[in-house]
Chain A
Amino acid sequence: MRHICANCGYIYDPEEGDPLNDIPPGTEFDDLPEEWVCPLCYAEKEMFDPLD
């Protein structure tokens, strides 16, 4: 399930993962570590909304 950052619009897509934060593809949003932040604007996980 993709998630979107409410602060900047960046979309986290589990199929892509997040290379800038060393997150491998296939990682579900809920499985992202607590310390994970938006790679573009550094907003915390709680600023993300499910997209689908």
Chain B
Amino acid sequence: MKPSLSSLYQSVELCQDIPPLLIGERCNSNGSKRFRELLLADDFDGCLKVALEQESAGAHVLDLCSAYAGRDESRDLTTLVRMFAKSVKLPLMIDSTTPECIEQCLRLYPGRCIVNSINLEDGGVNIRRICRMVKRHGAAVVALTINESGMAMTTDDKVATAKAIYDIAVGEFGLRPSDILFDPLTFTVGAGDESLRDAAVQTLDAIRRIKSELPGVMTVLGVSNISFGLSRQSRRVLNSVFLHQAVEAGLDAAIVDTAKVLPLARISEDDRRVCLDLLYDRSDAGAEQGPLMRFIDHFSTAATDGDDDAESADHGVPQEQLATKVLDGDKDGLEDVLSILLQRHPPLAIINQILVPAMRHVGELFGRGELLLPFVLQSAEVMKAAVDFLEPLMEKADADSSTKILLATVQGDVHDIGKNLVEIILSNNGYTVYNLGIKVPAEVIVEKACELRVDMVGLSGLLVKSAIVMKESMVQYRDAGLGVPILLGGAALTRKFVAEECVPDYDHPVVYCADAFAGLKAVREHEEGVLQSTAYEAAAAVRRMKPGAKNAEVLRTNPVPETPFLGARHVVDIDPAKLFPLVNRQALFRGRWGYRRAKMSAEEYADLIRNTVQPIYDGLVKRAVDERLVQPKVAYGYFPCYSQGDTVVIEHDGREFEFRFPRQTEPPHLCIADYFRTRDEGGDIAGFFVATIGRAIGEETHRLYDTDQYHDYLMLHGFSVEVTDALAEYWHEVMREELGIAADKPEGLTGYVTQEYQGSRYGFGYPACPDLDAHVPVFRLLEPDLIGVTLTENMEMVPEQSTSAIVAHHPQAKYFAV
């Protein structure tokens, strides 16, 4: 008589002619949102429907679990067992951790079922209780290879635990070997967790050895555990390939979603190869990436993630629930889900096997334009909250094992939004990040890097000067023996600059990272051992156009306006309400905040703006006014001057202040100095301003960052920058009016963007005058310290929400780049 199970209606052999025995997993209150919701609504008929669907889909046996905190498991389970026994032809697997419930079900089940499960977690008490009742009722039983130290990870451990269970079940209680289905457990290879690279092999070898060293026993596996953290569509393929490998190794039964199992014949050669490489941790000779990245890339270029499968949306094992919360940026009920998971999983496993892959998935969706940056940050907030909850429960040693990255904004530079985004993304992908803040000298970076024993250093900076600082510090880092790869990021950098100016002077990889996700990729490549310095192919590179009129004769005879005064004045009572109409919302929403159109239709995007983004903006305007976060102040003035070649010479207080401006090397060879008359032509006047919206908003922004409110941090920071710009726009208009050249009024905001007015302002540090050393004379002329603005050692203004400019009135003056 072959080992079999039975229901009221039929018997089912444990060893199927075409293995494996398929055990349907959907009637599980922990595993299926749909089933859980039916149960909570007391819709037992609905629960039965889920059972019958699986029967139609080809399951041989059905797993049944109805445990839910607050409900009477005994009543639910026995009700369902009675109903299923009558109406479902398939034998059942009673899935419960409560011995009393198991006993009740065994008593009323009219056939031979499987009990799920026994293990050695508590050293042997529970297993004996259950074996006793399994023997008495003649049932079969699933045995998990969990011992007192936890889940067995290696083949040796799995086999040893199985043998210990065998000795009790068979040796003490007289069960037959074929009454036991050993589940050697499997862990995900989809998390990028280094310690799990061979998880599949450990499981497959355990199946082989258990079948050979414990003759007559059965084996079972929860197949989908192999692919946690990967996209829904790729999981389906990997699960199916893994199942096939497991069956070849001797697996008898598998707990699956029967509707989702793919026969090997329906899986393409390419898909199969990528799956096998991942399962067996095989590197492709010549490929740059490891098997996991290749797997992810392969399936991400395939059909989209938008599996419009109603069922898949409700797949809710606690693991999936947690991953979904990260994906949705949803903190509701987070601690409940974590608590459930902690019953079975150590905190580090939850982080490495569920949270980190979920964040990685978020990053992939961002890379494909399917998730916008603000939503990425909301996901990161969930991640952070989860890790904060788990951290106190972790061993210190666990925390030390992740890759460590040191971040700093370089000497003289106060900008940190980009660097802080890198910290958010890296730390919420499981890495340890040390953020040294702004204006950090190279010596401090070396000192801290050694002290903290970091694996990588990331440098950031906005200014052109900062790029030079980075380049010059490469030799310093080499000579100091820093010894780790350096990542470089910041608006002033280019791939070319990094490749040609920075890479050669350092003895480890130097890598240009355009944004936080490029940084993340670099860290991963470093872990896989494939990180390389940035290279620049001059021939292949695209030579950007240089916009602008190609020939321009600058008129020398335009009139010089009369100024209302000469010298500097300070204005401190500017009404913030005057600024908001001038805020460039397009640049704010799309550029700063990252609400790009991406793959949305015009209508979808309009809805997003109307329902989500504009309200955020309106809320910030209100906050800014109510909490006095915007306190606009200006130091400005008009000064007699004359141009001399590339220099504008300001005359003030009996002294001369020189401003040397760069000249374009290509036609039309423009230079700011050209817009001012020479001494021979009669001299001219120049306007200057330094404007700020004050310190309060920057302080509040940093408070948001320090309290991990990433989304609001990004919003407020972007808002503060654009309001500062609006102030510059506003004050430039005031100056035009004072000079009497404001006849041309710009039409709408676009008019301001395209400079439909007379003259132009040129911000120091911007393309027409990149050298911030010009701030020295500006600060002498205007005394902006009286409005609370100071300079760093690299002439950058503090607070960040400040801006400066020289104002030219010449009708032909417009923005240009040198």
Point out residues on A near B: beta carbons under 8 Å: 4, 6-11, 18, 20-22, 33-40, 42, 44, 47, 49-50, 52
Instruction: Tell me whether B753 is interfacial, beta carbon within 8 Å.
Output: yes
Task: Verify B754–A40 contact, CB threshold 8 A.
Answer: yes
- In Å, the complex CA distance between A10 and B815 comes to 13
Point out residues on B near A: beta carbons under 8 Å: 542-545, 547-550, 584, 586-587, 590-591, 596-597, 602, 749-750, 753-754, 767, 815, 817
| Additional pairs, 8, CB under 8 Å, beyond known A9-B749, A21-B545 | A4-B590, A6-B587, A22-B550, A37-B547, A44-B544, A49-B590, A50-B602, A52-B602
Task: Verify B596–A37 contact, CB threshold 8 A.
Answer: no
Residues in chain B near residue A38, CB distance under 8 A = 547
In the A-B complex, list the 6 residue pairs whose CB atoms are closest, starting with the nearest: A6-B590, A39-B547, A49-B597, A9-B586, A20-B547, A6-B591
Q: How many A-B residue pairs have CB under 8 A?
A: 58
- In Å, the complex CA distance between A8 and B497 comes to 24
> Which among B543, B548, B586, B767 is the interface contact of A4 at CB below 8 angstroms?
B586
- Given known pairs A39-B547, A44-B544, the reply for A11 and B750 (CB within 8 Å) is yes
Residues in chain B near residue A21, CB distance under 8 A = 545, 547
Residues in chain A near residue B584, CB distance under 8 A = 8-9
Residues in chain A near residue B750, CB distance under 8 A = 9, 11
Residues in chain A near residue B549, CB distance under 8 A = 20
Task: Verify B591–A35 contact, CB threshold 8 A.
Answer: no
How close is B768's CB to chain A, nearest CB, in angstroms? Answer: 11
* 13 cross-chain CB contacts under 8 A: A6-B586, A6-B596, A9-B586, A9-B587, A9-B753, A10-B753, A33-B545, A35-B542, A35-B543, A35-B544, A37-B547, A49-B590, A50-B597
- Given known pairs A8-B584, A35-B543, the reply for A40 and B597 (CB within 8 Å) is no
- In Å, the complex CA distance between A47 and B543 comes to 17
Task: Verify A34–B542 contact, CB threshold 8 A.
Answer: yes
Task: Verify A7–B587 contact, CB threshold 8 A.
Answer: yes
Residue from B547, B548, B587, B602 with most neighbouring chain A CB atoms (10 Å): B547
Residues in chain B near residue A20, CB distance under 8 A = 547-549
Task: Verify A42–B591 contact, CB threshold 8 A.
Answer: no
- In Å, the complex CA distance between A50 and B598 comes to 9
Closest to A34 in B: B542
- In Å, the complex CA distance between A8 and B763 comes to 15
Residues in chain B near residue A44, CB distance under 8 A = 544
Residues in chain A near residue B590, CB distance under 8 A = 4, 6, 49
- Given known pairs A4-B586, A6-B586, A9-B753, the reply for A37 and B544 (CB within 8 Å) is yes
How close is A6's CB to chain B, nearest CB, in angstroms? Answer: 4
Task: Verify B545–A8 contact, CB threshold 8 A.
Answer: no
- In Å, the complex CA distance between A36 and B544 comes to 6
Closest to B541 in A: A35
- In Å, the complex CA distance between A49 and B586 comes to 10
- In Å, the complex CA distance between A21 and B817 comes to 13
Task: Verify A49–B544 contact, CB threshold 8 A.
Answer: no
- In Å, the complex CA distance between A42 and B817 comes to 9
How close is A27's CB to chain B, nearest CB, in angstroms? Answer: 13
Task: Verify A8–B587 contact, CB threshold 8 A.
Answer: yes
Task: Verify A39–B587 contact, CB threshold 8 A.
Answer: no
Task: Verify A47–B591 contact, CB threshold 8 A.
Answer: yes
- In Å, the complex CA distance between A52 and B586 comes to 14
Residues in chain B near residue A35, CB distance under 8 A = 542-545
Closest to A4 in B: B586
- In Å, the complex CA distance between A37 and B465 comes to 24
- In Å, the complex CA distance between A49 and B604 comes to 14
Task: Verify B754–A7 contact, CB threshold 8 A.
Answer: no
Task: Verify B817–A49 contact, CB threshold 8 A.
Answer: no
> Which among A6, A10, A22, A47 is the interface contact of B754 at CB below 8 angstroms?
A10
How close is B670's CB to chain A, nearest CB, in angstroms? Answer: 13
- In Å, the complex CA distance between A10 and B586 comes to 9
> Which among A6, A10, A42, A47 is the interface contact of B544 at CB below 8 angstroms?
A42
> Which among B545, B597, B753 is the interface contact of A37 at CB below 8 angstroms?
B545
Closest to B752 in A: A9
How close is B230's CB to chain A, nearest CB, in angstroms? Answer: 28
Residues in chain A near residue B543, CB distance under 8 A = 35
Residues in chain B near residue A33, CB distance under 8 A = 545
Residue from A20, A21, A50 with most neighbouring chain B CB atoms (10 Å): A20
Residues in chain A near residue B815, CB distance under 8 A = 40
Residues in chain B near residue A52, CB distance under 8 A = 602
Closest to A6 in B: B590
How close is A15's CB to chain B, nearest CB, in angstroms? Answer: 15
How close is A52's CB to chain B, nearest CB, in angstroms? Answer: 6
Closest to B767 in A: A42
- In Å, the complex CA distance between A36 and B548 comes to 12
Residues in chain B near residue A34, CB distance under 8 A = 542
- In Å, the complex CA distance between A39 and B550 comes to 13
Residues in chain B near residue A37, CB distance under 8 A = 544-545, 547
Closest to B594 in A: A6
Residues in chain A near residue B602, CB distance under 8 A = 50, 52
- In Å, the complex CA distance between A36 and B545 comes to 6
Task: Verify B753–A8 contact, CB threshold 8 A.
Answer: yes
- In Å, the complex CA distance between A52 and B597 comes to 10
Closest to A43 in B: B591
- In Å, the complex CA distance between A35 and B817 comes to 16
Task: Verify B753–A40 contact, CB threshold 8 A.
Answer: yes
Closest to B586 in A: A9
Task: Verify B586–A39 contact, CB threshold 8 A.
Answer: no
How close is A12's CB to chain B, nearest CB, in angstroms? Answer: 12
How close is A43's CB to chain B, nearest CB, in angstroms? Answer: 9
- In Å, the complex CA distance between A40 and B542 comes to 19
Residue from A4, A35, A49, A52 with most neighbouring chain B CB atoms (10 Å): A49
Closest to A18 in B: B547
- In Å, the complex CA distance between A20 and B550 comes to 8
- In Å, the complex CA distance between A9 and B753 comes to 7
Closest to B593 in A: A6
How close is B749's CB to chain A, nearest CB, in angstroms? Answer: 7
Closest to B588 in A: A9
